[in-house]
Amino acid sequence: MSAPLADGFGRVHRALRLSVTDRCNLRCRYCMPAEGLPWCAPGELLTDDEAVRLVGLFARLGAGRVRVTGGEPLVRPGVAGLVGRISAVPGVCEVSMTTNGVLLAPLADDLARAGLARLNVSLDSLDPDRFARVTRRRDLDRVLAGIDAALAHPGLRPLKVNAVLLRGIGEADVLPLAEMARRRPVVMRFVEAMPLDADRAWRPADVVRGAEVRAMIDARWPLIPLGRERPSDTATRWRFADRPGGALEFVSSVSEPFCATCDRLRITPDGRLRTCLFSDEETDLAGPMRAGAADAELERIVRAAVLGKPAGHAIGAGRRVERPMSRIGG
Ligand code: SAM
Ligand code: SF4
């Protein structure tokens, strides 16, 4: 067994977020511009073989909890096959996915069969007009159908629903979204908007903070804190006082940073390693791999990059990130 992937602050890395495309079929305001972005050329994207090889390398080094993301992962042709191959990699202990859900209904069966264990579906509003205002597409019904299809698979539980609320739009969505966690077997997560939008419109004052959302829900349905599921988790968990099921989570990256316990690494769709979502430092893995680097050489590059991982971020103070979220992998 290899030595764990530790950084200079003693944090050991167990989780890998693999972005399989930078493309997307929505245009969420906090992520992409209306006209989209200059997409990676097909030859720049990691192939399935390259992605599986990198997953194998990280899994051998102890980072075997893999989340497939994007861009929108379900727009990558053959993504269920790739999930199946990743699930079969020795050392991979869990494969999960974050998706906007638009293409989920027809793919949920294939993904569950391929070994996907957990699913996060992003959904910012249950109101068709507000959904369209945030995502710039009228696809709410398709996302809801995707959630229904995923809930039909007991293997895909817990199903988590991620909402990013924008100041001036999202406040009206807090109670309807929280109520969904009371009536359906989903965990509702409220994620603070981070300065990862390609439009560079993010301002600290626009963040609807987790504490504010929690207070709104608590005033209607009192909440009980449950703490974090794992110390390295990004989310704090809560439940409704009047019922045992129905959990809520808050990912308050801006107002309550959790860098000290971070165990996550990211691979961009073009095969670069990012040790921190908020640092602009990237380490090319696709280039050396295509130039014929052996696994031992890739391991040396990865270990050096992880050792240089920064202690934390300063986004609450207004620092921005150059590469937008859709090109990193959320
Ligand atoms: N397209 C998929 C989706 O939306 O679920 C996966 C990729 S997306 C980048 C992953 C997650 O990041 C989504 O839940 C999305 O809401 C979130 N996200 C994107 N931009 C964000 C931002 N600026 N601040 C906070 N969360 C963001
Ligand atoms: Fe697409 Fe996800 Fe970004 Fe929305 S958050 S534009 S769905 S990548």
Mean pLDDT of 284-289: 98
pLDDT band at 319 (very low <50, low <70, confident <90, very high): low
Token pair 């963040």 is found at 207
Does the predicted TM-score (pTM) go above 0.85? yes
Residue 126 lies in a domain: yes
Is 103 a pocket residue for ligand 1 (Cβ < 6 Å)? no
95 has a pLDDT exceeding 70: yes
Average pLDDT for residues 115-138, to the nearest whole number? Answer: 98
For ligand 1, whether the C-beta of 20 sits within 6 Å is no
CA of 325 relative to ligand 1 center, distance in Å: 7
* Average confidence (pLDDT) over 286-296: 98
Kindly state whether residue 6 falls inside one of the protein's structural domains: no
Calpha distance 13→63 (Å, rounded) = 6
pLDDT > 70? residue 125: yes
| Shortest-distance atom of ligand 2 to CA 98 | 2
Residue 9 resides in a domain: no
Residue 80, pLDDT > 80, answer yes
Residue 51: pLDDT band (50, 70, 90) is: very high
197 lines ligand 1 (CB under 6 A): yes
Contact by Cβ (8 Å): 96, 86: no
Whole-number Å distance, alpha carbon 99 to ligand 1 midpoint, is 9
Split into its structural domains, the chain has a count of 1
Ligand nearest to the CA of 73: 1
- pLDDT confidence of 263, banded at 50, 70, 90? very high
Q: What is the pLDDT of residue 323?
A: 66
* Residue 161, beta-bridge partner list: 121, 188
Q: How far is the CA of 30 from the centre of ligand 1 (A)?
A: 8
Whether 278 lines ligand 1, by a CB cut-off of 6 Å, is no
Distance 174 CA to ligand 1 centre (A): 18
Q: How is residue 107 written in tokens?
A: 């793919």
Largest CA distance in the chain: 59
Q: What is the pLDDT of residue 314?
A: 60
What pLDDT score does 305 carry? 97
Residue 100 belongs to a domain: yes
| Ligand 2 atom closest to 326 (CA) | 8
Residue 210 lies in a domain: yes
Nearest CA-CA partner of 209 in 190, 226, 196, 195: 190
- Ligand 2 atom closest to Cα of residue 100: 7
Helix (H) or strand (E) holding 18: strand 15-19
Residue 318 has pLDDT above 80, yes or no: no
Whole-number average pLDDT of the chain: 93
Q: In CATH, what number is assigned to the domain containing residue 211?
A: 3.20.20.70
The whole-number average pLDDT for the span 249-265 is: 91
pLDDT 10s digits, 6-17: 999 999 999 999
Which of 237-246, 263-272, 318-327 comes out lowest in average pLDDT?
A: 318-327
- Indicate whether 8 belongs to any domain: no
Dump pLDDT digits (tens) for 219-229: 999 999 998 88
- 73 close to ligand 2 (CB < 6 Angstrom): no
* Structure-token pair, residue 287: 């280039």
- What is the span of the domain harbouring residue 91? 15-327
324 lines ligand 1 (CB under 6 A): no
Residues pairing with 68 in the sheet: 18, 97
Is position 5 within any domain?
no
- pLDDT tens digits for range 132-181: 999 999 999 999 999 999 999 988 988 999 999 999 999 999 999 999 99
Q: Which of 30, 32, 125 to mutate to test the pocket of ligand 2 (most atoms within 8 A of CB)?
A: 32
Give the strand pairing for 236-240 and 223-227.
antiparallel
Ligand 2 mean position, distance from CA 323 (Å) = 14
Provide the pLDDT confidence category of residue 329 given band limits of 50, 70 and 90.
confident
pLDDT on residue 313 = 67
Looking at the domain assignment, is residue 3 inside a domain? no
Ligand nearest to the CA of 329: 1
Cβ–ligand 1 contact at 191 (below 6 Å) = yes
pLDDT band (50, 70, 90) for residue 200: confident
Question: Does the pLDDT at position 199 exceed 90?
Answer: no
